[in-house]
């Protein structure tokens, strides 16, 4: 194991202003973690991660016009985590001397020997680490000394007491603080990054009294930069107004009413919610929001996004304590939970049953995030699809059974082992993903939106999602009307066609077709699919495998589009609907090709025919062209 020299920093923009309250340089901290990693390797650890941090600053409070407390803080710590044979050991020290690091690494190794193995423990995958990420300025040392902070705190207290009121008002505490921090993180994969940050704070706590009625108020301003803080006069005034404003307030009995909260309360609610969405809370089900992804958490107008790259943001960081880079993402979108807060160990297991299309995107996304994906596929899944999953590093479970039997096994496995279930049939977030098909159709067609949209149907997720996207784009005014939906199933797997024609609910049945991605006898999103077709005034059709093979040939030769069997089933269904008079000759239509033909090469050759095998001989070529002219 080795560690590269640190050549990236999360805070370089303000380094020219000095080290603030810090004593150690970034290079010194990097040397300490590099040494800890080297010592862990010498003791036989298979993997290790070390983090060292230093904090320094001044915190000062005043009351009654005098300084009450003044503390010059400064401390440092190094934490090492070692992994050996699936066991994890953790230890820490406040000294950065070589002898102290030697001892703490030995302690971590000893701790590891006492624990049971955990198959999911270990470092994040090397490819998932933040080797290159954008520099985010977080370091802005204020240069303030104790006298400066005393002056700021006294000004806050004076402003609070100057607030006009007939009630009694006093300040229990006013304060000012300025801190700087610095860290270095290294892993046994050769990763080493450093960073620095700052934090400035001003606050005031007040008490207002009217007779026997006594109320408390407070206000705090926090920013990484001194210039980003509220003026001290505003901090004191707002704290006073908070306390005075609550005098005479009457309590409310239990009831359901709209509530308007101010910024601090909103922030505390967000903090509590994020705790409920942590990997530990979700995995151990120690939360009032179990299985949170896909749940409606708030009103539809609420969207909550995480942006770790905001300059001088209080929660900004280009990578986490495992070295994994952050990303801009939605935690809650339109009131629905979309994201969790996962570390590597708790985020490594996902479950998904698929014939390969959706699973390949899952496997690729999981690989990019350093997560482990477990993919269940039926035994008839084409080899190219399985190969793609394996290349992405997924654990592929090929089940000797039907798609429906595979799906059921995946469901049971997710429940038993606590895996995150990404199956589109049960995970509502996936329908939102399928919705992008409808959004893109509307975006690209605009005022020329077609009369019909034909989609091949297995579980029904793509059809339902596409319809939802088209509906929303119509509601927003991007398209003048909503197309009619044509759901297309294979003749050997047509439970939704039968349910639509009978006007009732789904009756599961057997499934057999060359179109493996829609070879589904028990669609799990059948209600949404039927609802979409009925609401649009559309219909369902079933096509034989021969028609699907014809569509593969025709789409390739006429349009240069190479689709897999399920991918061109919509096109086959559209051709049949025209022949049967369902779609008029003067109507416009769009067929969605849902999968590449490279995913099922064997069926493609069956549709198009085999190549001509010839020796490298001019005469042989001439004979062939004589028999079959070009």
- pLDDT tens-digit profile of 508-555? 888 889 998 898 888 888 888 999 999 999 999 999 999 999 999 998
The region of weakest confidence among 24-33, 112-121, 441-450 is 112-121
| pLDDT band for position 9 (cuts 50, 70, 90) | very low
Average pLDDT value for residue range 598-621: 84
Strongest mean pLDDT among 121-135, 222-236, 333-347, 462-476: 222-236
Sign of torsion over alpha carbons 109, 113, 114, 117: positive
* 372-390 exposure pattern, b = at least 16 Cβ within 10 A, e = fewer: bbbbbbbeebbebbbebbe
Q: Which residue did the predictor score with more confidence, 419 or 430?
A: 419
**Contact (Cβ atoms closer than 8 angstroms) between residue 325 and residue 319:** yes
| pLDDT band for position 2 (cuts 50, 70, 90) | very low
State how far the Cα of 181 lies from the Cα of 595, in Å rounded to an integer.
Answer: 51
Mean of pLDDT over the chain: 86
| pLDDT band for position 282 (cuts 50, 70, 90) | confident
Q: Decide if 15-245 and 350-421 have a common fold.
A: no
Q: Does domain 428-608 have CATH number 3.40.50.1100?
A: yes
Burial of 107 (0-12, 13-18, 19+ CB in 10 A): middle
CA distances to 180, 227, 341, 449 from 310, in Å: 18, 16, 18, 39
Which of 100, 62, 61 minimizes the C-alpha distance to 80? 100
Sign of torsion over alpha carbons 267, 272, 277, 280: positive
pLDDT of residue 352: 38
Stretch (H or E) spanning 369: helix 357-369
Percent pLDDT > 70 in the chain is: 91
Average pLDDT value for residue range 467-495: 92
| pLDDT band for position 258 (cuts 50, 70, 90) | confident
**DSSP one-letter string for 252-308:** --S--------HHHHHHHHHHHHHHTBHHHHHHT-SSSTT-TT-B-S-TT--EEE-T
List the structure tokens of 387. Answer: 């190969």
**DSSP one-letter string for 335-380:** TEE---B--TTTTS-EEEE-SSHHHHHHHHHHHHHT--EEEEEETT
Which of 232, 235, 247 minimizes the C-alpha distance to 169? 247
Domain ranges of the chain: 15-245, 269-337, 350-421, 428-608
Kindly tell me if the per-residue pLDDT of 389 is higher than 70: yes
Q: Which residue did the predictor score with more confidence, 579 or 3?
A: 579
pLDDT of residue 557: 86
State how far the Cα of 418 lies from the Cα of 348, in Å rounded to an integer.
Answer: 11
Task: Give the CA radius of gyration of the chain.
Answer: 32
End-to-end CA distance of the chain: 61
pLDDT of residue 349: 45
State how far the Cα of 273 lies from the Cα of 266, in Å rounded to an integer.
Answer: 11
Average pLDDT value for residue range 271-290: 77
State how far the Cα of 61 lies from the Cα of 416, in Å rounded to an integer.
Answer: 53
What CATH number belongs to 350-421? 3.40.50.1100
pTM comes to: 0.54
State how far the Cα of 256 lies from the Cα of 265, in Å rounded to an integer.
Answer: 18
The region of weakest confidence among 69-78, 124-133, 142-151, 166-175 is 124-133
Tens of pLDDT, residue by residue over 299-334, are: 888 898 888 889 998 888 888 888 888 888 888 999
Tens of pLDDT, residue by residue over 483-517, are: 999 999 999 999 999 999 999 888 988 888 999 88
For the chain, count helices (H), then strands (E): 17, 17
Eight-class DSSP state of 123: P
CA distances to 179, 227, 316, 407, 581 from 483, in Å: 59, 54, 44, 32, 17
Kindly tell me if the per-residue pLDDT of 82 is higher than 90: yes
State how far the Cα of 340 lies from the Cα of 297, in Å rounded to an integer.
Answer: 13
State how far the Cα of 221 lies from the Cα of 217, in Å rounded to an integer.
Answer: 14
Kindly tell me if the per-residue pLDDT of 558 is higher than 60: yes
| pLDDT band for position 583 (cuts 50, 70, 90) | very high
Kindly tell me if the per-residue pLDDT of 238 is higher than 80: yes
State how far the Cα of 232 lies from the Cα of 61, in Å rounded to an integer.
Answer: 13
Length of the chain: 630
pLDDT of residue 196: 92
Q: Which residue did the predictor score with more confidence, 473 or 404?
A: 473
Q: Give phi and psi for 511, each to the nearest 5.
A: -135, 130
* Pairing, β 336-337 against β 350-353: unpaired
Question: What CATH architecture applies to the domain 15-245?
Answer: 2-Layer Sandwich (3.30)
Average pLDDT value for residue range 136-140: 93
State how far the Cα of 92 lies from the Cα of 328, in Å rounded to an integer.
Answer: 32
Which of 379, 546, 565 minimizes the C-alpha distance to 458? 565
Kindly tell me if the per-residue pLDDT of 572 is higher than 70: yes
State whether residue 409 is helix, strand or coil: helix
Average pLDDT value for residue range 19-31: 90
Tens of pLDDT, residue by residue over 180-236, are: 999 999 999 999 999 999 999 999 999 999 998 888 899 999 999 999 999 999 999
* 71-91 exposure pattern, b = at least 16 Cβ within 10 A, e = fewer: eeeeebbbbbbbbbeebbbeb
Average pLDDT value for residue range 168-186: 94
Residues 6 or more apart whose CB falls under 8 angstroms from that of 494 comprise: 509, 542
Average pLDDT value for residue range 151-173: 95
pLDDT of residue 353: 44
């Amino acid at each position: 194991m080795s560690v590269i020299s640190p050549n990236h920093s999360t805070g370089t923009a303000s380094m020219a202003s000095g080290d603030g309250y810090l004593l150690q340089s970034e290079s010194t901290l990097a040397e300490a973690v590099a040494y800890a990693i080297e010592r862990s390797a010498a003791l036989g650890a298979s993997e290790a991660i070390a983090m060292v941090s230093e904090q320094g600053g001044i915190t000062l409070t005043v009351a009654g016009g005098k300084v009450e407390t003044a503390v010059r803080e400064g401390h440092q710590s190094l934490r090492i985590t070692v992994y050996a044979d699936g066991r994890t050991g953790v230890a820490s020290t406040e000294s950065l001397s070589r002898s102290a690091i030697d001892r703490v690494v030995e302690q971590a190794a000893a701790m590891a020997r006492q624990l049971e193995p955990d198959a999911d423990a270990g470092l994040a995958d090397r490819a998932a680490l933040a080797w290159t990420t954008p520099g985010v300025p977080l370091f802005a040392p204020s240069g303030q000394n104790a006298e400066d902070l005393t002056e700021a705190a006294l000004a806050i207290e004076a402003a609070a007491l100057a607030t006009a009121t007939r009630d009694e008002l006093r300040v229990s505490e006013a304060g000012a603080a300025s801190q700087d921090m610095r860290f270095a993180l290294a892993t046994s994969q050769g990763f080493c990054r450093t960073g620095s940050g700052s934090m400035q704070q001003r606050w005031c706590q007040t008490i207002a009294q009217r007779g026997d009625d006594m109320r408390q108020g407070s206000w705090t301003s926090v920013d990484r930069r001194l210039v980003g803080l509220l003026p001290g006069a505003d901090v004191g005034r707002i704290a006073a107004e908070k306390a005075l404003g609550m005098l005479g307030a009457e309590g409310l009995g239990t009831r359901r009413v709209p509530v308007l909260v101010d910024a601090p309360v909103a922030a505390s609610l967000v903090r509590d919610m994020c705790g409920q969405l942590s990997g530990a809370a979700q995995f151990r089900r120690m939360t009032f929001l179990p299985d949170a992804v896909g749940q409606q958490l708030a009103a539809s107008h609420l969207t909550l996004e995480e942006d770790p790259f905001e300059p001088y943001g209080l929660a900004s960081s280009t990578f986490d304590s495992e070295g994994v880079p952050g990303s801009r993402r939605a935690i809650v979108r339109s009131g629905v939970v979309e994201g969790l807060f996962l570390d590597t160990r708790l985020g490594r297991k996902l479950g998904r049953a698929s014939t390969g299309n959706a699973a390949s995107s899952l496997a690729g996304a999981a690989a990019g995030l350093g997560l482990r994906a477990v993919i269940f596929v039926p035994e008839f899944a084409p080899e190219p699809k399985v190969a793609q999953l394996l290349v992405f590093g997924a654990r592929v479970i090929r089940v000797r059974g039907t798609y429906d039997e595979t799906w059921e096994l995946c469901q049971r496995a997710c429940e038993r082992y606590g895996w995150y279930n990404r199956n589109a049939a049960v995970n509502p977030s996936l329908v939102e993903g399928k919705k992008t098909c409808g959004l893109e159709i509307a975006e690209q067609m605009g005022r020329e939106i077609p009369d019909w949209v034909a989609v091949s149907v297995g579980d029904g997720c793509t059809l339902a999602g596409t319809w939802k996207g088209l509906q929303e784009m119509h509601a927003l005014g991007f398209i003048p009307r909503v197309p009619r939906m044509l759901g297309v199933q294979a003749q050997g797997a047509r439970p939704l066609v039968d349910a639509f024609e009978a006007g009732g609910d789904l009756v599961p049945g057997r499934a057999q077709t060359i179109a493996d991605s829609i070879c589904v006898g028990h669609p799990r999103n059948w209600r949404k699919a039927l609802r979409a077709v009925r609401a649009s005034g559309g219909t369902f059709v079933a096509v034989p495998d021969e028609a699907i093979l014809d569509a593969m040939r025709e789409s390739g030769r006429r349009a240069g589009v190479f689709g897999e069997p399920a991918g061109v089933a919509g096109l086959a269904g559209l051709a049949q609907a025209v022949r049967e008079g369902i779609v008029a000759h003067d109507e416009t239509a769009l067929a969605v090709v849902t999968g590449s033909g490279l995913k099922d090469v064997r069926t493609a050759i069956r549709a198009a025919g085999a190549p001509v095998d010839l020796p490298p001989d001019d005469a042989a070529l001439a004979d062939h062209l004589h028999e079959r002219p070009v």
